[in-house]
Amino acid sequence: MEEVVLRLKELLFPSIANVAVLSVDVNVEVVRVEAHCTADGAVCPVCGVWSNRVHGSYLRFPADVPSGGRSVVLQLRVRRFTCRNSGCARRTFVEQISGLTRRHGQRTERLRSTLAAVGLALAGRAGARIARVLGMSVSRSTVLRLVDAQHEVAAPRVVGVDEYATRKGRHYGTVLVDIETRRPIDLLPDREASSLAAWLAERPGVEVICRDRAPFFAEGASAGAPQAVQVADRWHLWHNLSEAAERAVAQHRRCLRVLVPAASEPEPEPAPEEEPPGSPWPIGHRFADRTRARHAAVHALLEAGHSRRSIQRQLGMTWRTVKQLAEAAAPEELFTGQWQNRPSVLDDYKPYLDDRWNEGFTNAWKLWEEIMPLGYKGSYQRVRAYLHKKRTSPRPVTAQPPSPRTVAGWILSRPETLAEPEQLQLKTVRAHCPELDALTRHVRSFAVMLTERQGERLPEWLDAVRQDDLPSLHTLAAGIDRDLDAVTAGLTLPWSSGAVEGHVNRIKMLKRQMFGRAGFALLRKRVLLAQ
């Protein structure tokens, strides 16, 4: 019998000491386990004095994790001890079994941790539903309370900072990650510099701050942790350079025409269809076609013997309209020609629009903004209509130069990874355009600095950039100058914000699970504690 009791204890409480199982009662729905503590005494939770003087005992019935689809309830006899310290504020105290019970707890520690894990994974309503299926009946509010009671991690040494969107384009928060352990350590409800500064001021042990180049993070890091080294993330630096490179290539779009073979020059567009003689309006013009149809209908009814009054009623026309159509021998007599061949305010600017169109620039709004300073007084709709006609007119298929993004991709890629035709085309562009040749040299020099961690070469690179006529790189250089120390550290130290970007992506999933059903407090707990 004693061996059976030991086996039951090992089965039901495998990692809990000082517990003896007295009996197990199993029915269809519930498993009741009778047990008691076998320790000699307990420590007072207030003064810490050991006591083995028993004052009394009583039964507790904490719920435990289900077994075999049945709910488990412990009938646990606990003792109340008298504190031996006469100066202690508590005369008596109840023993607690480590890993099993806590003061005023209605559930065992392992059931609490199980429900908290369910809540972290699924939040309140969904967590309560799945817990009920697993045999742990609980309300959504209890699940949320158990999640909120979970402890969080300690302060880190190396912190990664980035923003996340609670409502994209409108409201953003801040996520902070321990870069060494790659675990999130806190969530802030906004991305203000003051919030980050206050958070860092409470943790003076922070030594390194990894961030992107957002100004509010730079200000908050400088104000809250002046002792920490700020590190600009390398991926963001390379992304900024790639955007500047694409803008630079777009500014020299004309130079890409050298890649189009001479044999593939665009053929002249076919001449528009000649108008029939005596017709001032073109075929297919909606007003002309409507007039021809109405003229034919009126004359067909007249030939059939209908009066003009009858035609007026049948076709729903006014008497004046029927009279004009009936008296005209041909529909062309009704064409006044007042809209034909009238000069347009756009005529003087059509050559400019045609040149920009041939360069590959087809954005009607941008072209309208370009001709406004040239003196154009007309509307945007007129420009759009003119370009729409060019866009929808049939054009011969001709070879087109590569897009600025494609050429920028060649410049940003490792030379050895480019295919041979791409290498030849890039070489041709560089030979034809000195600015793009300089851009390629600067990009590849920056790539060497970034991959080989040569941050000390950054001032030399900035000076070289300013000597060439590349406005987009000048803008990038000005931004780097304002954040020079952090960029130099990013190109020198091994730290980066890669782990932070992964958690930002994870926050999107957690946020969508709780959308409309929970607030920032629960989101913060789930981000920090859910695995």
Using one digit for the tens of pLDDT, what is the confidence trace for 43-88?
Answer: 898 888 899 888 999 998 888 888 777 788 888 898 999 998 888 8
Environment class of 23 (CB within 10 Å of its CB; exposed 0-12, middle 13-18, buried 19+)? exposed
- In angstroms, how far apart are the furthest CA atoms of the chain? 127
Mean pLDDT of 120-125: 76
The neighbouring-strand residues paired with 186 are 176
Mean pLDDT of 492-506: 89
pTM over 0.75: no
152 pLDDT higher than 90 = no
pLDDT for residue 274:
45
> CA-based angle 153:155:159, to the nearest 5?
110
Residues present in the chain in total: 531
- 399 Cβ contact list (under 8 Å, min separation 6): 260, 261, 264
Q: Give me the phi and psi of 155, to 5 degrees please.
A: -70, 145
User: Across all residues in the chain, what is the average pLDDT?
Assistant: 84
487 pLDDT higher than 60 = yes
Q: Give me the phi and psi of 27, to 5 degrees please.
A: -125, -165
Using one digit for the tens of pLDDT, what is the confidence trace for 155-192?
Answer: 788 999 999 888 887 889 999 999 988 888 888 999 99
Quick one: pLDDT band at residue 13, thresholds 50, 70, 90? confident
Quick one: pLDDT band at residue 6, thresholds 50, 70, 90? low
Share of the chain above pLDDT 90, in %: 37
Using one digit for the tens of pLDDT, what is the confidence trace for 399-429?
Answer: 788 889 999 999 999 999 999 999 999 999 9
Question: Among 198, 195, 158, 200, which Cα is nearest to 180's?
Answer: 158
pLDDT for residue 531:
58
CA gap 511, 187 in Å, rounded: 13
Question: Among 500, 498, 495, 519, which Cα is nearest to 163's?
Answer: 500
CA gap 368, 375 in Å, rounded: 11
Asked whether the beta carbons of 76 and 89 are under 8 A apart, the reply is no
Q: How many CB atoms lie under 10 A from the CB of residue 255?
A: 19
Quick one: pLDDT band at residue 207, thresholds 50, 70, 90? very high
Quick one: pLDDT band at residue 439, thresholds 50, 70, 90? very high
